[in-house]
Chain A
Amino acid sequence: MRKMLTIISTVLRGNAGKNGARAVVAARTYADFTQQATFDIKKCDVHKLEEGPPLTSTLTREDGLKYYRTMQTMRRMELKADQLYKQKIIRGFCHLYDGQEACAVGIEAGINLTDHLITAYRAHGYTLTRGGTVREIMAELTGRRGGIAKGKGGSMHMYAKNFYGGNGIVGAQVPLGAGVALACKYQEKNELCVCLYGDGAANQGQIFETYNMASLWKLPCIFICENNKYGMGTSVERAAASTDYYKRGDFIPGLRVDGMDVLCVKEATKFAADFCRSGKGPILMELQTYRYHGHSMSDPGVSYRTREEIQEVRSKSDPISMLKDRMLNNNMASVEELKEIDIEVRKEIEDAAQFATTDPEPPLEDLCNHIFYNEPPMDVRGTNPWSKLKSMS
């Protein structure tokens, strides 16, 4: 035991230069793992701010494993959805999030579950971080009654507590998010709203209308542009006269963040959250990230970008690999442990996929339900005048 400790501390001291990590070796650890380490993170470009988020981030072993597990779950879930879509078990729209995991996980790490979040249609990852289970998400994709929206919403319309979807109309979620922030301020609960949109949506007029009102009324809103470099098949250079999305808020302070690094996203989100909670009004974050899949399942994703580009990002900037390397290189976890997590995640996804393919579809009686809330049962006209269907609240 003592011999192992000596070896480890020698190795660690030797590794002190690598990765710029300063390791703190705790005296009493069950498996001799480093409980906590501080990492250098990329500096954020700032707009109308005196200073940005810190240049280092401290990660505990517990958090590291949690982020790893969540990102891996997200990754495998999206890949399973890809599979099921190709088998025609999922139909319609399916916009996959793999490659962008660090954004969803990093953001959630910087806020509380009591805060609010809204995003566009690439929403499976956020549904997970906001409290949805893989089972519910996959069953919603396959349109079954066990889905998070009972099969009535599909890929783009998933909801959870303090998570307002899942929105299909590009840009419409931004005013909605500011409205949620208005409610937060009105109800004085010190909560905020994270309001996400993509680089494609960033040119929408209603977003600028929202910037104006959020700033005027000092709404506690973190606007986040997930810049994955392509709005469907249009690269940012071809869509935006100014691709400095973090500056597009003009009078709203902005940050440009490395969206492939979960720690960078976390620190930036914490910084932004503190800014909002102090009553200074909205703030804007641009997360520079990348999606491995095409825009949606009907897009192979290679007509407007090269396979080499995708491969390069995968090998050099993959968010899960980045976290894994950091943890392994600083003895925060073992290869076996992470493999163990991978196996558990795979099993969870398999179970969920099994559920999603075997759960029955919603009953026909549910067709006309949920038109109105808190309303006595009413009749809804069917496809012909003799067809009177029942609608429950």
Chain B
Amino acid sequence: MAALRCFLRSGKNAVAAGLRREIHQTAPASLQVTVRDALNQAMDEELERDDRVFLLGEEVAQYDGAYKVSRGLWKKYGDKRIIDTPITEMGFAGIAVGSAMAGLRPICEFMTFNFSMQAIDQVINSAAKTYYMSAGLQSVPIVFRGPNGASAGVAAQHSQCFAAWYGHCPGLKVVSPWNSEDARGLLKSAIRDDNPVVFLENELMYGVPFELSEEAQSKDFTVPIGKAKIERQGNHITLVSHSRMVGHCLDAAAVLAKEGIECEVINLRTIRPMDIETIEASVIKTNHLVTVEGGWPQFGVGAEICARIMEGPAFNYLDAPAVRVTGVDIPMPYAKILEDHSVPQIKDIMFSVKKTLNVPLRVKYRGHILLCHCVLCCSVSQ
């Protein structure tokens, strides 16, 4: 039985695995892999698998990538397949889209998605809409990838989250991985997808290691686009998030668990097409919903989730209004204390959960810790 399981898991290495089993060697165990390395390996494997795949962007080749995500790829694949571009986003994004129209499968890296604004016409008007406008004559198999959202100390022009902007447009798929498994599986899916995919990474997650199961390490491991993942089961409240904030939700859930509140944490993984069914099923179970994102509140990802929950079957199961935890509605400041207060912290998530569940907050009053429901104490963090 163990040998059979090993055979199935190892796929191509079936025979070798079987033999290994015979001489009592264990199958490969799970590894600690950073998000950066997961992305790097995913690209490496896809470049190897399909000759038409190539990477272009600023500093992707000889610099090994501005954030080292493409480290080693130029040495391995050379100038033809890993192309350094001048600092001309609109031009090279257009070139990438044109090459996709003519049969290649480009990965177009934006050093950060802030710079994609210079090229956004090519992403939307040339890539996203073309298959529809041509009534199916012209497809555009391209991946636009790069870090998205807030980083650390990079200030307003380098910290915007574009999930809502790209998530707005039909014809695009928009994914936002959180951990290494997400990064690896979703990038492979994105590269293999025959449609334009916007792949939103997060710079602060690049260096974070996560466990990659042996299954996730296999060359054909993909994570389906359009399917959310329940990272943590719970009964009292549903937390929906994407990218880095998923980690914050899990941390908040761990603290809340000690107080007897069990949160169900959903990792969206894909912004568009959004897996609203998973969220609905969870809300029907828990009756409470809090969305968490790093981006701005107005017209954001959370706003869309709340609107859809209102319009769908889960509304009747809500015991409290669904609320959003978002970045503060300001351009990102530089000073650390200001920046820290511009994005959701774990305590903000916990506060919102408790407010939604109508759980009394612990308040300090004249040296004593009290439990209070009152309006005045709403603005006091516990």
Whole-angstrom distance between the Cβ of B87 and the nearest chain A Cβ: 9
Number of residues of chain A lying within 8 A (CB) of chain B: 50
Q: A175-B94, A205-B90, A209-B86 are in contact. Are A153 and B102 (CB under 8 A)?
A: no
Q: Is A164 a contact of B101 with CB atoms below 8 Å?
A: yes
The contact of A174 among B54, B94, B170, B194, by CB within 8 Å, is B94
Residue of A nearest to B106 (CB): A179
* Chain A residues with CB under 8 A of B85: 213
Flag whether B126 is at the interface (Cβ < 8 A): yes
Q: Is A216 a contact of B98 with CB atoms below 8 Å?
A: no
**Chain B 74-100 residues near chain A, CB threshold 8 A:** 80, 83, 85-86, 88, 90-100
Residue of A nearest to B83 (CB): A217
Query: Bound complex: CA of A375 vs CA of B138, how far in Å?
Result: 14
* Chain A residues with CB under 8 A of B102: 116, 164, 179-180, 182-184, 193
Proximity bits, A167-185, B CB within 8 Å = 1, else 0: 1110010111111111110
Query: Bound complex: CA of A184 vs CA of B102, how far in Å?
Result: 8
Q: A182-B95, A183-B99, A373-B194 are in contact. Are A149 and B134 (CB under 8 A)?
A: yes
* Chain B residues with CB under 8 A of A168: 125
Q: Is A371 a contact of B91 with CB atoms below 8 Å?
A: no
Residue of A nearest to B98 (CB): A179
Flag whether B260 is at the interface (Cβ < 8 A): no
Q: A152-B132, A179-B94 are in contact. Are A216 and B86 (CB under 8 A)?
A: yes
Query: Bound complex: CA of A10 vs CA of B248, how far in Å?
Result: 95
Proximity bits, B273-316, A CB within 8 Å = 1, else 0: 10000000000000000000000000000000000000110000
The contact of A182 among B98, B131, B311, by CB within 8 Å, is B98
Query: Bound complex: CA of A212 vs CA of B104, how far in Å?
Result: 21
Q: Is B195 a contact of A213 with CB atoms below 8 Å?
A: no
**Chain B 112-147 residues near chain A, CB threshold 8 A:** 121-122, 125-126, 130-139, 141
Flag whether B103 is at the interface (Cβ < 8 A): yes
Query: Bound complex: CA of A174 vs CA of B90, how far in Å?
Result: 11
* Chain A residues with CB under 8 A of B195: 372-375
Whole-angstrom distance between the Cβ of A363 and the nearest chain B Cβ: 12
Residue from the set A168, A172, A181 with the largest chain B CB neighbour count within 10 Å? A172
Q: A179-B98, A182-B99, A370-B136 are in contact. Are A206 and B90 (CB under 8 A)?
A: yes
Q: Is A212 a contact of B88 with CB atoms below 8 Å?
A: yes
* Chain B residues with CB under 8 A of A209: 86, 88, 90-92
Q: A116-B102, A373-B195 are in contact. Are A175 and B90 (CB under 8 A)?
A: yes
Residue of A nearest to B310 (CB): A385
Whole-angstrom distance between the Cβ of B202 and the nearest chain A Cβ: 25
* Chain A residues with CB under 8 A of B97: 175-176, 179
Flag whether A165 is at the interface (Cβ < 8 A): yes
* Chain B residues with CB under 8 A of A239: none
* Chain B residues with CB under 8 A of A184: 102
**Chain A 187-202 residues near chain B, CB threshold 8 A:** 187, 193
Flag whether A369 is at the interface (Cβ < 8 A): yes
Residue of B nearest to A205 (CB): B90
Proximity bits, B188-199, A CB within 8 Å = 1, else 0: 000000110000
Flag whether A186 is at the interface (Cβ < 8 A): yes
Flag whether A343 is at the interface (Cβ < 8 A): no
* Chain B residues with CB under 8 A of A212: 86, 88, 91
Whole-angstrom distance between the Cβ of A45 and the nearest chain B Cβ: 27
* Chain A residues with CB under 8 A of B101: 164, 176, 179-180, 183
Q: Is A152 a contact of B91 with CB atoms below 8 Å?
A: no
Q: Is B99 a contact of A213 with CB atoms below 8 Å?
A: no
* Chain A residues with CB under 8 A of B121: 169, 172
Query: Bound complex: CA of A153 vs CA of B93, how far in Å?
Result: 23
Residue from the set B98, B133, B195 with the largest chain A CB neighbour count within 10 Å? B98
* Chain A residues with CB under 8 A of B171: 371-372
Q: Is A149 a contact of B135 with CB atoms below 8 Å?
A: yes
Whole-angstrom distance between the Cβ of A117 and the nearest chain B Cβ: 11
Q: Is B95 a contact of A210 with CB atoms below 8 Å?
A: yes
Q: A167-B126, A212-B86 are in contact. Are A150 and B131 (CB under 8 A)?
A: no
Residue of B nearest to A162 (CB): B102
Proximity bits, B329-355, A CB within 8 Å = 1, else 0: 000000000000000000000000000
Query: Bound complex: CA of A378 vs CA of B98, how far in Å?
Result: 27
* Chain B residues with CB under 8 A of A393: 136
Query: Bound complex: CA of A373 vs CA of B132, how far in Å?
Result: 9
**Chain A 332-380 residues near chain B, CB threshold 8 A:** 366, 369-375, 378, 380
* Chain B residues with CB under 8 A of A246: none
Query: Bound complex: CA of A116 vs CA of B122, how far in Å?
Result: 19
Q: Is B91 a contact of A213 with CB atoms below 8 Å?
A: yes
Whole-angstrom distance between the Cβ of A209 and the nearest chain B Cβ: 3
Q: Is B99 a contact of A159 with CB atoms below 8 Å?
A: no
* Chain A residues with CB under 8 A of B95: 175-176, 178-179, 182, 210, 213
Residue of B nearest to A176 (CB): B98
* Chain A residues with CB under 8 A of B125: 168-169, 172
Q: Is B126 a contact of A373 with CB atoms below 8 Å?
A: no
* Chain A residues with CB under 8 A of B93: 175
The contact of B273 among A160, A179, A378, by CB within 8 Å, is A378
* Chain A residues with CB under 8 A of B312: 385
Q: Is A157 a contact of B131 with CB atoms below 8 Å?
A: no
* Chain A residues with CB under 8 A of B92: 175, 209, 213
Whole-angstrom distance between the Cβ of A367 and the nearest chain B Cβ: 10
* Chain A residues with CB under 8 A of B98: 118, 164, 175-183
The contact of B54 among A153, A167, A186, by CB within 8 Å, is A186
* Chain B residues with CB under 8 A of A373: 131, 136, 139, 141, 194-195
* Chain B residues with CB under 8 A of A164: 98, 101-102, 138
* Chain B residues with CB under 8 A of A216: 86
Residue of A nearest to B132 (CB): A370
Proximity bits, B173-207, A CB within 8 Å = 1, else 0: 10000000000000000000011000000000000
Residue of A nearest to B56 (CB): A182
Residue of A nearest to B88 (CB): A209
Residue of A nearest to B87 (CB): A209
Whole-angstrom distance between the Cβ of A152 and the nearest chain B Cβ: 5
Residue of B nearest to A204 (CB): B90
* Chain B residues with CB under 8 A of A182: 95, 98-99, 102, 104
Taking Cβ atoms with an 8 Å cutoff, the residues of B that contact A are: 54, 80, 83, 85-86, 88, 90-104, 121-122, 125-126, 130-139, 141, 170-171, 173, 194-195, 273, 311-312
List 29 interface pairs A-B (beta carbons < 8 Å), by A numbering.
Answer: A150-B135, A151-B135, A152-B133, A159-B134, A165-B134, A167-B126, A172-B94, A172-B121, A174-B94, A175-B91, A175-B95, A175-B97, A178-B91, A178-B94, A180-B102, A181-B98, A183-B102, A183-B103, A186-B104, A187-B104, A193-B102, A209-B88, A212-B88, A213-B88, A370-B131, A370-B132, A371-B132, A373-B131, A375-B194
What 9 pairs across the A-B complex have the smallest Cβ distances? A179-B98, A175-B94, A209-B91, A183-B102, A176-B98, A150-B135, A385-B311, A209-B88, A373-B139
